[in-house]
Structure 1
Amino acid sequence: MRVPALMMAMSVLLGGAPGAQEAANLIPNGAFEVDADGDGLADGWRFSGNESVKVTWSRDAGTEGRWSQKLDCTAFERTSPASHVMLAMNDGFALEEGRWYRLSFRVKGRGILGSAAQVAIQQTGPWENLGCDKSFRVGPDWKTVETVFRATKTLDRNLRLQIWFTSTGTLWIDDVRLVETEAVQRRYTDVLPDLGAKNLIPNASFECGTSGWGSTTQMSGWGGNLNSLVGEIDRTGPRYHGCSLKIPVDRATAPVLYFDYFELIRQPVLMPLLGNRGWISVTPGAEYTLSADIRSEPAGTPVKLRVYQAFAGTQDRDLEATGEWQRVSFTLKPNRPQVFIALGPNLTDSQLTRATLGVDGVQLEKGAAATEFELQAPVEVGIEWPEPGHLFAPGGVEATLIAFNGSDRPQSIDLRAEVRDYLDQPAGSEKLTLSPAAGASARGVLRPRPGTQGFFRMALACEGGALIPTRPERFAVIEECKDADGLFGMNHAYPPQELNRLSKQIGLTWFRDWSLKWLHVEPAPGRFEFAEADRQIDRVLELGLNVLPLLPFPSSDWASSAPDSVTPGSGYPANRERAAYMPRDMEAFANYVRTTVARYKDRLRVWEILNEPIYTSYALPQSAGYKPADYVKLLAVAYRAVKQADPQGLVIGGIAGHPDTYVRDFIEAGGLEHVDALNLHAYPGWQAPEGFVEPLRQLRKMMADAGHPKPIWFTEGAYYADDDTPWEPFESWLTRLDSELLCAAYQVRFDAILLAFGTQKIIYHSGTPGSLNNEGVDGIFYEWDGAPRKMAVAQAQLTAMLGPDTATLGVLSEDPWACGFHSRGKTVVVLWSDRSDGPRFTPGGEARLLDLMGNRVQGSVALGEVPHYLVMEGLQSAEAARVVLTAGLR
């Protein structure tokens, strides 16, 4: 598991030549033109890598100058963190804390595993990143890599610029530049258009339904937030026109947000704030006034008015509503150029058990006082979807368009919807005319018929009114998953239950749960407390989903062997540091495991022992002197304890890293004797999935040679992308691929490779969605209101092809790539090419070729990075599948 942290680096990949130099290059000999000693390594640069890496270096033809630097690795084995092929500059340049820098260089590569490399600037003593850390793809052609970052320390020594990869292969580097640059200002990208109106809020009196509105709250922890609107349209006695919106809050029935890390969170939403969708451009330092008409039942209900400022917190006003409509206002000076507004009931500190707040006439205007309410535009058009998630069965797509005419004469509004598919190709269009009378609304149902299944975006155009959705709407046509025990899942259940329900529809049927930490379930010797863990676990089970319980830490505070100098802090991660050490008493650990398994054996059937031991700080960290053999010692105790409590319980264990992360040490220490399945984790970043084939092949060989060939459970990791970049420049602790299409393609290829090498379950990371107007990539599959990303729809199709009965035929071919399986009574081959000039394929006989979304492809297709499915009836042998594959290639 990884805990999100704000990265200081802000990066972008460019395809052209470097831009003009903004300041002096701080990197000496960055063009590699000087090699006075003639050793093939440009002066000021050095190679870094341990003895398991065999590398030669030389200077080769450059891009603009005469030379570039070439590193050629002919042998590679991962034996330690120093197993890398690295070009480094130690010292020779300086950084100043708080200043912004642009690092750029030219690069190309050949034969590098996964086509992935990295660049960073590190402090070398002690090791610490200095704000620059980026992954990037390499290919046969020169490209520019550029990243802008803010230095986190002032250093002129003990720092290192490093560019590296971790495999055999060849890397060329040229024209390394580090220059000071102006500060980068982050800005959100989903910005409402400026209509020149007094009121900056669209659909401000809810005459277009709930279009343009969402909900947010103040969530404890970092797991997530609301993902859908809390509230409903009310037509009984509105303050303006025909509608208002009411927000009910009841302590007994309020939606509950959960999260299982680090503290267990179970938070009833007692402050559901109604917020506008999209950011509003404002002038920092100028006065703005937020106003609205509100009423409550009962009178005296606490209310919060809130203005969210981009990357700068909120400004609030707290007040009480009366039983009748009352205009309230809040004047502020925003300190950022982008804001959005929110308001709603706040029962957090109230004695009330229930309340309902009515809202109408919301207005944000420039000025020191509220003025009379006005609509943003005289005619507005909004859209409503029937269900969160925008997922439909074939032929069932529909959305409601609502037009409100605030003028004094009838209007005719012509609407056109253009639909595009997952390849951004046209997939149909629809027209609709709405004719609202003066002061009234008109509704119409739009039923796009794309003719295929898969992911779609629908862009609306309007004549005669102002559109409320500012971006094309996402929707999908899928075959809903009916499996109770599928192959796929998620690390951490999503905080709102509706996202877990959607996850079941696309085939995520397992959720890895962190609730059963020793320090929480046994806070004192012999005193077990499972009530909160029960709630976390049962809320997943009650949806017909499965839970993979993780026992993440080897100790509790009271049982830890940590020295007295390691004190349990109040903040994270200090509050888990003692839990990372070995227990003083192994029997106490065994008792914790036995007691926990015995309690849940009727509900849970698999158990994962520790999260990422040795190579991270979670459990038995190498920094405290622990080695894989120490983990195996603890694992043996846990294995016996699980089997004592539940002989049928499945034990999952391992170092939980890449296929080559301390695996040899784990196996040589006898670790496979104490697991029923081996766990793996991987965050590939830019590394193409094929880079995992050889490590997985070696892993299977090592297990076979040890006499313990175990199945694999992949319990954490994924690829990430978002075509609607939340803000720019975008930064995240997770590497974001260039597009959702590439991400979906990589994920299917990665899953196919994992399954081909005997993986039984694939658990993605993580169930942590974004919030209103603040999306993230962590949750992978969903935008606001559960609207699908392309990865969600690709996942639904992968699940439709490969069910619980999947059996592997292995990797059938590596050029093109083909992974074969038996599932659902058919033979399925996942087929793609990682070459730019991939071969054409024509299915023969009764074989069918389907695209990534599950649509049949007629004729031949050029194989490329986006996979296809070759489907044959019956359970064909690997040899028979190869015959069909070979016959179809040309």
Structure 2
Amino acid sequence: MLRLALVLLVCSFVTAQTNLVPNGDFERDENGDGVPDFWMTAGAPHVKQQLARDVGRDGKGFSGRLVCNEFGNGTPASHAMICQVGTIGVQRGRWYRLSFWAKAEGIRTGIVRVALVNTRIWSDVGLQDFFAPTSQWQRYEFLFQATSDLLAKESRLQIWFNSTGTLWLDDVELVEIPALSPRRLPQIPPEGVVNLLPNSSFECGTAGWGSYAPDLRWWMGNVFQLIGELDEKTSVHGEFSLKVSLSEPNLPTFYFDWFDPVRQPVRSLITAHHGWIAVNLGQPYTFSAFMKADRPNVVGVLFVRQSDGRSLSRNFTLTTDWHRYSFTFTPQADFIWVGAGLDLNASKMSAATVWLDALQLERGSQASEYKPRLPVEVMASTDAMGNIFVVERGHPTLPVKLYAFADGTRDTGQRTREVTATISVRDFFDDEVLRQTVRLTVPVGGGIVRTVNLPVGKFGFYRVQVTTSEKANFCLPIRCAIIKPYRAKDSRWGMNHAYPWQFLLRLAHRAGILWWRDWSVQWRTVQPKPDAKFNFGETDFQIDRVVKEGGNCLVLFPFPSADWSSSGDPTQIEKVQPVAYRRQVMLLACKPKDEQAFARYIAESVRHYRNRVTAYHIFNEPLYTFYSLPASLGHTLDDYLRLLRIAYKTIKSEQPSAIVVGGIGIWADNRWTREFVEAGGLQFVDVLDLHLYSGGSPEGLCEPLRKLWERMKQRKEARPIWLTELGCYADDDPPIEPLRNFFGDAATRSAFHPSERRASEWLVKLATLFFANGGEKIFLHAGTCGEINGVDTGSVFFEYGGAPRKMLVAVATMANLIPIEAKFERSQELSDGVIVHWFRFGKRQVGVAWSTDGKVHQIALPSGVSALDIMGNPIEGRKVAVSETPIYLTQ
């Protein structure tokens, strides 16, 4: 039996490692035609491409070479593609790894895409990604879980790009792998401690704690900061407890503008720790906490969040006295976090306050006597919201608070304990710019707080890490930003969807991000029935909360119809759209039965908002998506132009000064954009709308933008361009690994960058070229937020609590240096491989320069010209090194 088991195990392993790609090494060419067997090209006839074998990557054997020397982006099939058709089958739920070696030359954007597609329904089965090959051979790897069964005869493995250029591939391999178990981050070290929770009695302030609302079950986010305050008037252990209050009508409220506008007060609130704890499956753990309430019969909650998304909880009826409550459970996932709080719904109350203290998570089936995690704990935080400091000038410092607490339950006979904290500060470039040690004398049974002013001396992004000699001391790095104030009421920067929480709007505004593209003013929302009066009560909440904070709303009319006014046929929609919620959207996306009713909807909306709103956007991504007037249901460009004309004239009649934004909402090189311009669509807009999700070369991406801008000027119809959706994502502190497999959809993943520095540099370069070619405003996608310890990469600028990502500081710097009134003047070649793009406002000129050839160039600054780094700090000397990282020149 043992031998049989071993044989089966070996066979299973071998089967799992079988390469599913025939002739993945390109060695076979049975008919000698020079084309590798099983491989072929695919694309529109006007794309001139050729597939052949070339020398292998190590100088031996063969590789595959795809050459495209003529390209035109006219149809969805406009691509240069190497593929295999009818060869690869996968099974739903199983994990696979695709790997290959590649190099490239002359691909305009630098981006090559890869997918495994079901040709029966033309949909990917879990693999849809991209890579950026260089001129040198490199290995690329993609992990994916099949989302559906795929028969080999219905498959296409495809690797493609959208320009002229040459791509080489070798050793293409697709193998089944064991189920991928994602790794959660950051992890709290569980070794050598009884109580697994850091700062468990809040003696180190609120460092390491946040909040979570179990009743907020929205994909777009959860509570994103700690809701609660320290209370030194009552405690069980030490001097402090945490006071958490919920009270109508002032409950924390979560907002969002898609699909049904969300306005949900928080009635159940959990105080939760940052970080995941690795647990042993099948073994019991006990979570306990001391709690009391401001009145009898308040329901307290002990809560466990598991890494597989499931939650465990237990409710307790609290009293007005301190009592300890415990919950023993057996984890069903590899990682957990825990929290305690209150539930107004379960309490059947409109208001309540609870106090929390001495929380303990431990191995075993019962609670032991409470003890802090360590004899001495050291934590750090700042007093600034989001750790973002707004400083006018000078040599800024970072004021960081160090907290230290010495446990008094461990009798050592000592009155004080000594601990040395090491503070390391790294900047935008990940260079350590400061390191210092602080010696702390901590009274046993008590704590101290010391503010350390870190003399960083420059503006920008900083990461502050505090460590001690105790490896189990868990102190998260502090993301900080020092930025200059942004005082203008208008800016070049915005977000698609306003963040759900007001404090995030305020932080964004400080960075010069002032515009918010709002989706809430849908026909179905403001007029749910044909005979109903228009009612903007719900949409007012969404618009007014932005305006109240000093923001500007771009009001999007996302759909042409309401449910009752749509000309759509549900039967036909079901044939072309298999996803249920998208079918609901597609009904609204169809053209209205009554165009006069459509005009009334637009008129009533503008009439209502004209004193608060200056810009309106007509439909999201018409024709090529399911959002509005989908071509898949027979809609045409003429349909869009007709409704756009009606909306434009209606808006102007109600608000002549209003800005009307329109267009197809895709990038400049797409045929829909070209056809919109050539059909005269610009006469019915004040601003042309574009969208972009790509991590490709900014120079390659903006070449078609330049041509579009020139064409608009040739037609004497030049309109400012707004990029109302731009994807740009990175996370240097991923909450899960591998992040790419658990973040976003294919579009957002195509705009994912390997680091926040790379994303920031890309964004500054893309924005510079966009503003130099007719661009006026950029809206990043999207104003979402995650949950504590969850994926929040899609929020672009913020980590939990409003802590900044590097992209925020890069945008804040650019917003001040190239304000809305700046006009593009010229591009100047400083040397071979270095170009500066100059903008002028008043008597001042600001340029953005970087190396376009990947080399570092030493450039002598002209007289009167100064240089600033990407964070806005002066660069010393009259010679500056110009690399791929953009710098600013001022004169």
Same fold (TM over 0.5): yes
* TM-score, with structure 2 as normaliser: 0.93
Residue equivalent to 2:318: 321
The correspondence for 1:675, drawn from 668, 674, 685, is 685
- How far apart, CA to CA, are the structure 1 residues paired with 2:227 and 2:842? 40
* TM-score, with structure 1 as normaliser: 0.93
The correspondence for 1:83, drawn from 71, 78, 89, is 78
The correspondence for 1:52, drawn from 22, 38, 46, is 46
- How far apart, CA to CA, are the structure 2 residues paired with 1:21 and 1:92? 17
- When structure 1 is superposed on structure 2, of 102-111 and 310-319 the one drifting more is 310-319
Q: Does 1:553 align with 2:567?
A: no
Q: Where do residues 456-535 of structure 1 align in structure 2 (5 Å cutoff)?
A: 456-463=462-469, 467-469=473-475, 471-525=476-530, 526-535=532-541
Q: Decide whether aligned partners of structure 1 residues 121 and 570 sit closer, same or farther in structure 2, where only a CA change above 3 A counts.
A: closer
Residue equivalent to 1:630: 639
Helix, strand or coil at the partner of 1:778: helix
Q: Where do residues 408-427 of structure 1 align in structure 2 (5 Å cutoff)?
A: 408=411, 409=414, 410-427=416-433
Say whether the 8 Å CA contact 1:430–1:446 is kept in structure 2.
Answer: no
Residue equivalent to 1:190: 186
Shift, 1:306, TM fit: 1.1
The correspondence for 2:233, drawn from 233, 236, 249, is 236
Q: Does 1:161 align with 2:157?
A: yes
1:612-636 deviations in Å (ceiling 9; x for gaps): 0111110111211122222111111
- How far apart, CA to CA, are the structure 1 residues paired with 2:848 and 2:461? 19
Matching residue's letter, 2:513: L
- How far apart, CA to CA, are the structure 2 residues paired with 1:367 and 1:251? 39
Matching residue's letter, 1:679: D
Shift, 1:180, TM fit: 1.7
Q: Does 1:866 align with 2:885?
A: yes
Say whether the 8 Å CA contact 1:801–1:823 is kept in structure 2.
Answer: no
Residue equivalent to 2:458: 452
Residue equivalent to 1:273: 270
The correspondence for 1:694, drawn from 700, 703, 706, is 703
Matching residue's letter, 1:204: S
Structure 1 gaps, min length 5: 1-19, 873-890
Helix, strand or coil at the partner of 1:69: strand
Q: Where do residues 299-448 of structure 1 align in structure 2 (5 Å cutoff)?
A: 299-392=296-389, 393=391, 394-407=395-408, 408=411, 409=414, 410-448=416-454
Q: Does 1:738 align with 2:754?
A: yes
Matching residue's letter, 1:645: E
Residue equivalent to 2:28: 34
Helix, strand or coil at the partner of 2:101: strand
Matching residue's letter, 2:407: G
Q: Decide whether aligned partners of structure 1 residues 156 and 465 sit closer, same or farther in structure 2, where only a CA change above 3 A counts.
A: closer
1:744-800 deviations in Å (ceiling 9; x for gaps): 000000111110011111111111122211132111111111111111111111111
Shift, 1:131, TM fit: 1.2
The share of aligned pairs that are identical, in percent, is 37
Q: Decide whether aligned partners of structure 1 residues 571 and 441 sit closer, same or farther in structure 2, where only a CA change above 3 A counts.
A: farther
Shift, 1:719, TM fit: 1.4
Say whether the 8 Å CA contact 2:817–2:846 is kept in structure 1.
Answer: yes
Shift, 1:436, TM fit: 1.6
Helix, strand or coil at the partner of 1:485: coil
- How far apart, CA to CA, are the structure 2 residues paired with 1:575 and 1:857? 55
Q: Decide whether aligned partners of structure 1 residues 869 and 21 sit closer, same or farther in structure 2, where only a CA change above 3 A counts.
A: farther
Residue equivalent to 1:853: 871
Q: Decide whether aligned partners of structure 1 residues 473 and 426 sit closer, same or farther in structure 2, where only a CA change above 3 A counts.
A: same
- How far apart, CA to CA, are the structure 1 residues paired with 2:169 and 2:511? 43
Q: Does 1:140 align with 2:135?
A: yes
- When structure 1 is superposed on structure 2, of 344-353 and 165-174 the one drifting more is 344-353
Matching residue's letter, 1:263: D
Q: Does 1:94 align with 2:89?
A: yes
Shift, 1:850, TM fit: 0.7
- How far apart, CA to CA, are the structure 2 residues paired with 1:632 and 1:802? 34
Residue equivalent to 1:111: 106
Say whether the 8 Å CA contact 1:566–1:577 is kept in structure 2.
Answer: no
Q: Decide whether aligned partners of structure 1 residues 265 and 236 sit closer, same or farther in structure 2, where only a CA change above 3 A counts.
A: same
Matching residue's letter, 2:498: A
Structure 2 gaps, min length 5: 1-13
Q: Does 1:805 align with 2:805?
A: no
Residue equivalent to 1:785: 801
Helix, strand or coil at the partner of 2:153: coil
Helix, strand or coil at the partner of 2:134: coil
Say whether the 8 Å CA contact 1:292–1:363 is kept in structure 2.
Answer: yes
- How far apart, CA to CA, are the structure 1 residues paired with 2:471 and 2:834? 51
Helix, strand or coil at the partner of 1:131: strand
1:124-145 deviations in Å (ceiling 9; x for gaps): 0111111111111111101111
The correspondence for 2:855, drawn from 837, 848, 851, is 837
- How far apart, CA to CA, are the structure 1 residues paired with 2:714 and 2:573? 43
Q: Decide whether aligned partners of structure 1 residues 464 and 133 sit closer, same or farther in structure 2, where only a CA change above 3 A counts.
A: closer
Residue equivalent to 1:16: none
- How far apart, CA to CA, are the structure 2 residues paired with 1:46 and 1:464? 59
1:676-727 deviations in Å (ceiling 9; x for gaps): 110000011x312112222112211332333311110110112110111221
Say whether the 8 Å CA contact 2:496–2:782 is kept in structure 1.
Answer: yes
Matching residue's letter, 2:54: D
Matching residue's letter, 2:235: P
Q: How many residues align?
A: 851
Residue equivalent to 2:5: none
- How far apart, CA to CA, are the structure 2 residues paired with 1:743 and 1:132? 23
Residue equivalent to 1:14: none
- How far apart, CA to CA, are the structure 2 residues paired with 1:34 and 1:811? 50
- How far apart, CA to CA, are the structure 2 residues paired with 1:840 and 1:87? 41
Say whether the 8 Å CA contact 1:413–1:434 is kept in structure 2.
Answer: yes
